[in-house]
Amino acid sequence: MARKKMHFEISERKILLRFFDAVFVFTGLYLLHFFFDNSYYILDWHYFYRPILLFAYIFIFGVIFEMYNLQVSSNQIQILRSVILTVTSSVILYLFTPILSPELPKKRLVILFFYFVVLLILLFWRIFYAVFLASHRFSQNVVLICERSQAEGLVTGLENVDPHYNIIGFVNSDSTFDENNEFNYVKEIKKHDLENFVLHHNVSEIVIAAQKTDGITADLYQQLLHLLESGNIIKEYTHVYESKTQRIPVHYIERDFYRFFPFSRSNSNKLYLILIRLIEFVLSFIGLVFCFVFIPFIFIGNLIANNGSLFYTQERVGKNGEVFKIYKFRTMIENTDVNGPFAQSNDRRVTPFGKFMRKSRLDELPQFFNVLIGDMGVIGPRPERPYFVAEIAKIMPFYETRHVIKPGLTGWAQVNYSYGESIDESLIKLQYDLYYIKHRSVFLDLSITFKTITTVLFYRGQ
């Protein structure tokens, strides 16, 4: 067999980043302790919790400032911003954490040494990662088995998410077409040449996306069996798509949806649901306090810019399809309604003050009242208007599956995708929502929370 090309999966790259962040920071602290006789840098078993605390801050702020976003980690300019923000926030919080962190030194220059060592050593490692480990030297060569009509869409869908996932060829599994060389998007491999092609092109993975089994001949099946026995990885497309995009490919699996979609056990886990509800109570009270604090300023802005009532109510569809009233601060001029099922990202009815409110998410503060009374949760699919739900459900399969859980103030779709302005974009958001429903857990909720903070800090979205 040909020597396999080394590559890193998405999960492996994320673990690699976190592991070596800790290794390099610990190395930097050790060097400071070794070369400088200062108690502030001391690394002792009696104070083992100090570096752990620092690493915890770096990991938390690293998520908030996107240091573990693989697209950001592969861009040297974005690395600079994310590392500086992460290290600055982590060091400041570490310095002023009572009891657990060391006492502030009398010489403030010591703090600067501490800060710049952590900053420079992380920058060095992250730039090395971007230049070397995130390069195409470690790309993953893949072969698809699919119908020719699907090939272009499947290739672009996967490669756009992971640029290191390099689909170098496909086998046409549609028996109604004769194999030929007219298709040039990616190389078409003859069915009888698959095994030889895999062995001589450092192919690390074979993805079967064929929806029709009649095109998988006995010879092709035998070759796949030989490749599997030789240690080659063979995966089903829906699993690859879900792991790469963190979305459910409802457009691909269609009527077999429920066979591929086991609902998360957390949706019926009473301990999880009670814990989440308690957290929602606390957050809704905090959110409403902020709402009352901002009301005087929003009232003045609304009076000048929007010329309408301060609060805006609208019917939305909640859990189990029940309709409720959602509360928001006004962002549009009064007496307007949506012409068609989608508001536009540059909607002229939204005032300049309203745009600021939407970008900063201040317009959604009154929705904490909906959370308090149980109409909504903090995390879940965004609720839509009844008319739009009915219209979209006619076109889009499984759209109403979103209603098996409560809608939320923020969600997996909101932190991963922009404002939906069309049926196609709503389909993508539906895929994210279904992924959340399938994988719902405390860890995914925490991930959404951190990404929501990032979205607000960097002033993204509508």
Query: In this structure, how many other beta carbons lie within 10 angstroms of the beta carbon of residue 254?
Result: 11
Q: Give the model's pLDDT for residue 252.
A: 72
Q: Whole-angstrom Cα distance, residue 133 to residue 125?
A: 11
pLDDT along the chain (462 residues), means of 10: 62 90 89 70 74 92 90 88 94 89 79 91 94 80 86 80 84 66 71 89 88 77 89 88 85 63 77 93 94 92 84 92 93 62 62 85 93 95 90 81 92 82 78 91 91 79 56
Q: Give the model's pLDDT for residue 206.
A: 92
Q: Whole-angstrom Cα distance, residue 412 to residue 433?
A: 6
Q: Which of 367, 354, 294 lies closest to 326, judged by CA? A: 367
Q: Give the model's pLDDT for residue 1.
A: 45
Kind plus residue range of the DSSP H or E element containing 457: helix 442-457
Bridge partners (DSSP) listed for residue 317: 323
Q: Whole-angstrom Cα distance, residue 12 to residue 141?
A: 17
